[in-house]
Structure 1
Amino acid sequence: MKMTLICCLGLLTLPIAAHAIDAGPASPQQQETEGWLQLQSRNKAASTKQQTSTATERELSMQRWLKSYEHEIPQFFDQDEGGKVDSGSGG
């Protein structure tokens, strides 16, 4: 009985915890990002110019997309398979 009561009280506090997490951006950078995301999702900053692509651009885009399927996705990533990182002085 006690365990059921504790579980029910815990479930009742979940919305409060979720609200606390979504209280708002913590830093100015996060506020700026949130502002841009809201503009985008609300369609407030859409361009007035119609964005179009030519038939050639669409064809090249489709070819590039189809070509991406030519490479097999490996079962796992082996860190030793990749190249070496040059930690030299650069240039």
Structure 2
Amino acid sequence: MKTTVLCCFTLLATPLFAHAIDAGPASPQQQETEGWLQLQSRNKAASTTPQTSTATERELSMQRWLKSYEHEIPRFFDQDEGGKVDSGSGG
């Protein structure tokens, strides 16, 4: 019985906690970030200059993409292969 009452109380109190999360930005940095994200999602700060690439840039991009298929994807990753990571001992 106590468990049931406790579970019901918790479920009833959940919207109160969710409201605290949506209360708004907590710091000026977060407010600035929220502002930029809203500009981006609403397309309010888009450039009027279209971004284009030259034929050479497109060709080089395509060659780079095609070259990425030359390497076989390993079936698994062996942690002992590929060298070692420097532990930062200042050597």
Q: Secondary structure at the match of 1:34?
A: helix
Give the 3 Å change call, closer, same or farther, for CA 67–33 of structure 1 in structure 2: farther
Deviations 1:16-54 (A, max 9, x none): 212212222222222111111111111111111122223
TM-score by length of 1: 0.63
Give the 3 Å change call, closer, same or farther, for CA 21–82 of structure 1 in structure 2: farther
Alignment-derived partner of residue 18 in structure 2: 18
User: Which whole-Å CA distance do the structure 2 matches of 1:39 and 1:26 have between them?
Assistant: 19
Q: Identity of counterpart residues, as a percentage?
A: 70
Give the 3 Å change call, closer, same or farther, for CA 12–60 of structure 1 in structure 2: farther
Give the 3 Å change call, closer, same or farther, for CA 59–44 of structure 1 in structure 2: same
User: Which whole-Å CA distance do the structure 2 matches of 1:20 and 1:62 have between them?
Assistant: 49
Choose 1 or 2 for highest CA Rg: 2
Letter in 2 for 1:12: L
- Across the aligned residues of Structure 1 and Structure 2, the Cα RMSD in angstroms comes to 3.1
Aligned length: 87
Deviations 1:39-87 (A, max 9, x none): 1111111111122223332332344345456375763767xx4443474
User: Which whole-Å CA distance do the structure 2 matches of 1:61 and 1:55 have between them?
Assistant: 10
Alignment-derived partner of residue 58 in structure 1: 58
Q: Secondary structure at the match of 2:34?
A: helix
User: Which whole-Å CA distance do the structure 1 matches of 2:2 and 2:90 have between them?
Assistant: 61
User: Which whole-Å CA distance do the structure 2 matches of 1:4 and 1:59 have between them?
Assistant: 66
User: Which whole-Å CA distance do the structure 2 matches of 1:61 and 1:52 have between them?
Assistant: 13
